[in-house]
A and B are shown apart, each in its own frame.
Chain A
Amino acid sequence: MSNYRIEGETGEWEVVIGLEIHAQVTTKAKLFSGAATDFGAEPNTQVSLVDAAMPGMLPVINGEAVRQAVRTGVALNCEIHKWSRFDRKNYFYADLPQGYQISQFAHPIVGEGEILVEPEGGEPATIGIERIHLEQDAGKSIHDQSPEFSLVDLNRSGVALMEIVSKPDMRSPAEAGAYVRKLRSILRYVGSCDGNMDQGSMRADVNVSVRKPGGALGTRTECKNVNSVRFVEAAIAYEAQRQVEVLESGGTVNQETRLFDPARMETRPLRSKEEAHDYRYFPDPDLLPLVFDDAYVEECRKTLPELPDTKRMRYIEQLEISPYNAAVLTAEQETAAYFELLLNETALKQGKDAKDVGKAAANWVISDLFGALNSEGKSITESPISAAQGAELLALVADGTLSGRLAKDVFAIMLETGDDPGKIVEERGMKQVSDTGAIEAEIAKVLEANADKVDQYRGGKDKLFGFFVGQTMKATKGQANPAVVNELLKKALDG
């Protein structure tokens, strides 16, 4: 549990945070219509008669959205409700064509579960999931295109969302940030949401209240549609501080919906309690309850990939990768996928068990590859070096073809050209020389040219050994196997 505290004039305050994450379900069609859901399409080009709420149109549930919700629920260790129901949430708005949103109010498809989060530099915490339900997204109102009218784009109208509601279990901005990151990671592993927060396919409603540590829960506010992890953390920090100041100056916190303004990094009221809606929820009579059996849940479970926590433990226990590296490699599904491809190719090429090459592969990905990608601002999926090429490079090092130094040079060329390492070595003659005869010949030349230093060395100046290594490497253009050079030099100098 976090010991994050806000220092007020009256002492310490604890922050209580709950998050509602709206995650757009990865499916080609909308929740109740066959219309497409591509991001960035021309306004009002992805709208069916159902999405526009034409008279007499009826919703039909998209089976793929249901499947993805169940898979997500299973992945988050949640209770799966084999009987769930859609309700209508009634309110008027120009971008809500039906005059109601179809959601699951009373009987969500997924019930309680939990998720383990590890905030950077903080204690691990288990955060409870309250529920996950399916619902429709609304359209978009555009107020800045005409002085007289608001325009409405219905492309998003009816898009399938999972609302993932946490329990009020988080106690610091860092914990909330870690929760969003972890949830995003799991959703991306499962494939039920692409997690693109900048495209709005994942956004958070942030509920914040403050209280004296251990005291009764305070009144909460809700910041709507916060669309990055950083903003979630900033909104919480701002809001908690604001509430403490309100309370300490004798005021009361209004239960209200607020807006987070990323330009000013502050929150402000969106609508007041006086305008609070009475949503008049009731079961949607156009839809039958959603019912499935254990076999269906089992089928969904079988399609789940290995999830990040399990994967990380396997890396640590079976591949003997350090906990830190294992965490880095499993945080994103794409990284893990790259790593595992690299690992398998490496084991295959070197004829070894995966566990015997795991550490080397992990080190290469994290130090060499990530280092290079970070400096170019690229993600792992944009890597100019494929996993197979990486494995080939590691194999060339392992079999002595390349020294560590040569490997770095080859790596740099690979980054630039995208060529296979074998080809680079071949074309540029960068092969490491382990042929003792050739190296001995070079050593003899080096010793002859530096006879004075040989005498000094033999006279007790041990430090000069490094000088001879350097000269030999230079003479072999860096291609000599350093281990062989060491051994042969020792023999030649020490007799």
Chain B
Amino acid sequence: MSDLTNLPIAAMRDGLNRKDFSAKELAEAHIRAVEGARTLNAFTVETPERALAAADAADKDFAAGTAKPLSGIPLGIKDLFCTEGVETSASSNILKGFVPQYESTISARLFADGAGMLGKLNLDEFAMGSSTETSACGDTINPWRAADGRNLVPGGSSGGSSTAVAARLVAGATGTDTGGSIRQPAAFTGITGFKPTYGRCSRWGTVAFASSLDQAGPMARDVRDCAILLQSMAGFDAKDSTSLELPVPDFEAALTGDLLGKRVGIPREYAIDNIPADITALWEAGRAMLRDAGAEIVDISLPHTKYALPTYYIIAPAEASSNLARYDGVRYGQRETPDGGNLIDMYEATRSAGFGDEVKRRIMIGTYVLSAGYYDAYYLQAQKVRTLIKRDFEQAFRECDVILTPTAPSAAFPLAEKMDDPVSMYLNDVFCVPASLAGLPAMSVPVGLNADGLPLGLQLIGDALDEEGLFNAGYALERAAGFSAQPEKWW
């Protein structure tokens, strides 16, 4: 790990501005790191030539004094974002070999601001999973290792992103979060992940999982880096009807660390059974840190919390079952044509071969809950509960400015441990899912290590559109926690 790859984005930006090093040097250092970390399997595609091209352009811009906000910053792009001319598979066999003719709005904005792309990052297939083990591109390994040396999952679905950032392979990465897919992997790898308010980031060109929940966000070393990245990613996009037509505030300017007069809500319903003691202790410690930063700690209630996970596992699969219907073998991606078969045979063969087990499970769940005779009992009921969950938060935010909870109910777990037990896997997102259902901004900040030396994160949830307040609370927590641990390089 070179000194250059260990810098946060803000420091890279300063160093490039001061010409302490060139964008080319920065890109080359990262390319070497990527090449040296293939054991971790963070990438589905490496694109060093793109990173170098962006670096050349950046160096010219720095020389001409026309540098952009992210000039020369080498990033990784989750392989759910369509990238023009670069294979985008969503880590699914059904999209293997698919090369988009278009650039997703999020990646286009980052590149327009000068960022380079080191490659596409692994994820759970179609972002369905919490460990990146459902990927058709193989498991991604968490750079943090268990005390006994066992390999751990990097969380998911943005596990390639979390691993790449934590292992210092990229300066920052894009993630997407449908029910915790940015926050949980961030917590598992000791980095910061930020999911903005639903609608802040355009979904155009991002392979859809569950449209009413999917939201892109940054994953980076620290809170400031997330603010810098989100500044470029966020903003109205006429091509996404659910995109918010609002000005984007200056996120970095909101980072004062001062929480005087702010109230931090502690939802009693998040104190669930079977949470490891070190996570409960971390949550306690988080409260003390925010109190020390000037905030008042208040108890709040989010009464419908326990229904959030089942609600999520109706709505998200329902939307997914429809969103994934387009992968039918007709126009792109995998196609299987059994001898003598007709159209239906082609669909069955293609989708049987192309989708993995978890994706099939969710398509079946989603199809079931939307079926005639079950729609009212499942989908409609879930939409009603979703409204109640939103209302819980609306009421809570009358009593507090930001909410503090654990990000995940455990630290990173060993590979394969939960793959045979979907429900236990789903429980990973129990703390993340409510904010997703309510469309609220939420982030995970690394706060400490557990007894095994593995990172743990705390989640902060903000009110709708209050990214500034949320960033600032995260910044205060980060400063108080002083988390600086890094995984030992073993790869």
Enumerate chain A interface residues (CB-CB to B < 8 A).
49, 52-61, 88, 90, 92-94, 97-100, 150, 152, 278, 280-282, 285-288
Contact = CB atoms under 8 A, between A and B. Distances in A.
Contacts of A285: 210-212, 242, 319
Nearest to B202: A58
A281 B376 CA distance: 11
A202 B40 CA distance: 59
B82 A56 contact: yes
A56 B205 contact: yes
- Top 5 A-B pairs ranked by shortest CB distance? A99-B325, A285-B211, A280-B370, A285-B212, A53-B326
Nearest to B80: A56
B370 A58 contact: no
Contacts of A281: 370, 375
B95 interface: yes
29 contacts: A49-B101, A54-B102, A54-B332, A55-B95, A55-B326, A56-B100, A56-B104, A56-B203, A56-B204, A56-B206, A56-B207, A57-B204, A57-B205, A58-B204, A60-B239, A90-B321, A92-B344, A94-B343, A98-B326, A99-B322, A99-B326, A278-B372, A280-B321, A280-B367, A280-B372, A282-B370, A285-B211, A285-B319, A286-B242
B241 interface: yes
B18 interface: no
Contacts of B100: 54-56
A92 B330 CA distance: 11
Contacts of B322: 88, 90, 99-100, 280, 282
B139 to A, nearest CB: 23
B398 interface: no
A89 to B, nearest CB: 10
A152 B372 CA distance: 30
Contacts of B242: 285-288
A56 B202 CA distance: 11
B98 interface: yes
A60 B241 contact: yes
A287 B104 contact: no
Contacts of A60: 238-241
Given A58-B203, A92-B347, A282-B318, A97 B326 contact: yes
B302 interface: no
B330 A152 contact: yes
A451 B242 CA distance: 98
B77 interface: no
A93 B212 CA distance: 25
A61 B241 CA distance: 8
Contact of A282 (B95, B101, B375): B375
Nearest to A92: B347
A52 B210 contact: no
Contacts of B239: 58, 60
B241 A59 contact: yes
Interface in B186-223: 203-208, 210-212
A90 B331 CA distance: 18
A88 B238 CA distance: 21
For A92, A287, A288, the residue with the greatest tally of chain B CB atoms inside 10 Å of its CB is: A92
A102 to B, nearest CB: 11
Contacts of B319: 285
B486 to A, nearest CB: 34
Contacts of A58: 203-204, 239-241
B379 interface: yes
B325 A100 contact: yes
A389 to B, nearest CB: 49
Interface in B337-395: 343-344, 347, 367, 370-372, 375, 379
B88 interface: yes
A145 to B, nearest CB: 16
Contact of B208 (A56, A150, A282): A56
A57 B321 CA distance: 16
B411 interface: no
For A52, A54, A55, A56, the residue with the greatest tally of chain B CB atoms inside 10 Å of its CB is: A55
Nearest to A93: B343
B27 interface: no
Contacts of B211: 285-286
B174 to A, nearest CB: 13
B401 interface: no
Nearest to A99: B325
Contacts of A49: 101-102
A278 B322 CA distance: 13
A93 B319 CA distance: 19
Given A55-B326, A60-B239, A90-B322, 16 more contacts: A49-B102, A54-B332, A56-B104, A56-B208, A58-B241, A60-B241, A94-B328, A97-B330, A100-B322, A150-B343, A278-B372, A285-B211, A285-B242, A286-B208, A286-B241, A286-B242
Contact of A55 (B82, B212, B241, B372): B82
A52 B204 CA distance: 15
Contacts of B207: 55-56
A99 to B, nearest CB: 2
A296 B227 CA distance: 40
Contacts of B210: 285
Contacts of B347: 92
A99 B321 CA distance: 10
A285 B318 CA distance: 11
B88 A55 contact: yes
B90 interface: yes
A94 B331 CA distance: 9
Contacts of A287: 241-242
Nearest to A277: B372
Nearest to B212: A285
A216 to B, nearest CB: 25
A438 to B, nearest CB: 78
Contacts of B212: 285
A55 to B, nearest CB: 5
Contact of A280 (B101, B204, B324, B371): B371
B464 to A, nearest CB: 16
B67 to A, nearest CB: 30
B241 A282 contact: no
Contacts of B203: 56, 58
A72 to B, nearest CB: 23
A98 B327 CA distance: 8
Nearest to B366: A280
Interface string B249-279: 0000000000000000000000000000000
Nearest to B319: A285
Interface in B50-93: 81-82, 88, 90
A55 B330 contact: no
Given A54-B332, A97-B326, A288 B241 contact: yes
A27 B332 CA distance: 29
A285 B382 CA distance: 14
Interface string B299-334: 000000000000000000011011011101011100
Contacts of A57: 204-205
Contact of B90 (A54, A55, A100, A282): A55
Contacts of A288: 241-242
A278 B373 CA distance: 10
Contacts of B324: 99
A98 B331 CA distance: 11
A285 B331 CA distance: 23
Contacts of A90: 321-322, 325, 370
Contacts of A150: 343
Nearest to B204: A58
Nearest to B95: A55
Contacts of A282: 318, 322, 370, 375, 379
Contact of B330 (A94, A278, A280): A94
